[in-house]
Amino acid sequence: MKKILFIFMSILTTLLFVSCGNDVTYQCNPILVFDTAVNIVFYNDANYKTYYNDIKNKFNEINRISDDFNMNTDKNNAYALNNEREVIKTELFADMLNKAIELKEDTNGYFNPFIGRLTHKWKDAFNDKRVLSKEEIDYELDIMNNTNLIISEDKIKLDGEGNIDLGAFAKGYALDWAIEYLKNKNVDKYYIDCGSSSIYVGNKELNVALSKPYSSGYYLEFNASNIGIATSSPKYQYNEIDGVKYHHLVNPFTGLPSNIYDSVNVISKNNTKNDCYSTAIFSMDIDTAREFAKNKNVNIVLYKNDEILYKGEEL
C-alpha cells in the first residue's frame, strides 16, 4: 500500500507528518518571520542545510522590508516609509512595491497596498471592542485613494497621507523567490509552509486537507504537487461585537471588514498572486469571485458556515 504524507492546512497552516514513503526526509528548524513559523522539508538531498540557510536569510530580508510595525536597521522598510514618507531605495523594496502596484491593477483595486492606515485603525478598534464610525472610515478611504508611490533612481517616496501595507503578499513573494532559487539548484522535492496563509508543494504528491476555520475537522481534501495554496481567513484576528465579526480583512471599497466568507483558498503556481488574490477575493461576492478566478486561471475554494460555497472544477 502506497504511503503518503498528509498536510492538514488551516489559516495557520499546520503540518502533521503521517508518513513519507521511501524518501529520506530532512525537516529544518522553523524560520520565525511574517509573524509565524515557516517550515521547510526537503527530500533526498543531503545539501539541504545550504538551501535552508540561503532561504532563511532571504526570508528574513523580505520580512524586514515588509514589516510595517517595526523600523529595520537601515530605516528603509514599510514602517520607515510610512513614518518618514521617504527612504533610500533598495532593489528589493522597489521590486516589492512595484509588484504591489501591479497587483492593485490586476485585482481591479480589491487589493490596495495603500490601505495600511485603515487596517491598523480597525485592528486597534476591534481590540478595544468598538466599531469605526462611518466618518472615520470615509476619512481613511479618501486618504487611501489619494496616495501614490514615487520611485526614483535612488529614493522611494509616499505621495499623500496613506500608509503601505505589504502583508497581503509578502509571504507569497518570499515563496516565489525560494521556488526559483531551488529550481536553479536543481532541487524539486520539497515543500515550504509559510504558516499564516501560504504553502508550496514541490515535485512530490501530497494529500492536502483544508481545515474548518471555526470548528474541528476538514472541509476539503485533494492531492497536490508543484502547486501553491494561499488562505485568507479572519480566524485568528477578529473580535465579535454585537454578533458581527470585525477583523483585518477590510474591503478597500467600503472600508468595512468583509464577512462574505469564513475562508478563501487560492490555488495556482504563482504564490505572490495566490497570497494577494485570496485577500482580494475575500471582499468579492461569489459571482465576481468565480469570474475573477476564471479570468486569472486559478482554482479557488470559498467556504462559509460549514459549507463549501464554491470550488474549482479540478478540485
For the CA atoms of the chain, what is the radius of gyration? 19
**pLDDT truncated to tens, each residue of the chain (315 aa)?**
333 344 444 333 333 333 346 789 999 999 999 989 999 999 999 999 999 999 999 999 999 999 999 999 999 999 999 999 999 999 999 999 999 999 999 999 999 999 999 999 998 888 888 999 999 999 999 999 999 999 999 999 999 999 999 999 999 999 999 999 999 999 999 999 997 578 999 999 898 888 888 888 889 999 999 999 999 998 777 788 888 878 889 999 999 999 999 999 999 999 999 999 999 999 999 999 999 999 999 999 999 999 999 999 877
Residue 185 zone, left/alpha/beta (φ > 0; ψ -120 to 50; rest): alpha
User: Which pLDDT does position 3 carry in this prediction?
Assistant: 33
Domain edges within the chain: 63-159
Give the C-alpha separation, 135 to 154, whole Å: 38
Give the C-alpha separation, 56 to 50, whole Å: 10
User: Which pLDDT does position 248 carry in this prediction?
Assistant: 84
Give the C-alpha separation, 107 to 126, whole Å: 27
User: Which pLDDT does position 235 carry in this prediction?
Assistant: 76
SS3 197: coil
User: Which pLDDT does position 153 carry in this prediction?
Assistant: 96
- CA distances (Å), origin 62, targets 56, 231, 243: 10, 20, 37
Residue appearing with cell numbers 523600523: 71
DSSP state of 76: -
Residue 40 near residue 71, CB atoms below 8 Å: no
The CATH classification of domain 63-159, taken from the options 1.10.357.10, 3.40.50.620, 1.10.287.70, 1.10.3980.10: 1.10.3980.10
* Lookup: cell for 8: 492538514
Quote the strand ranges of 242-298, DSSP E. Answer: 244-247, 263-268
SS3 72: coil
Quote the strand ranges of the chain, DSSP E. Answer: 6-9, 25-27, 31-33, 36-43, 86-88, 148-151, 155-159, 190-194, 198-201, 206-211, 218-224, 227-232, 238-241, 244-247, 263-268, 299-304, 307-311
* Lookup: cell for 109: 483595486
Residue 3 near residue 21, CB atoms below 8 Å: yes
Residue 146 near residue 160, CB atoms below 8 Å: yes
Give the C-alpha separation, 182 to 210, whole Å: 26
Half-sphere exposure of 53 (CA within 13 A, CB side): 4
Q: What is the pTM of this model?
A: 0.92
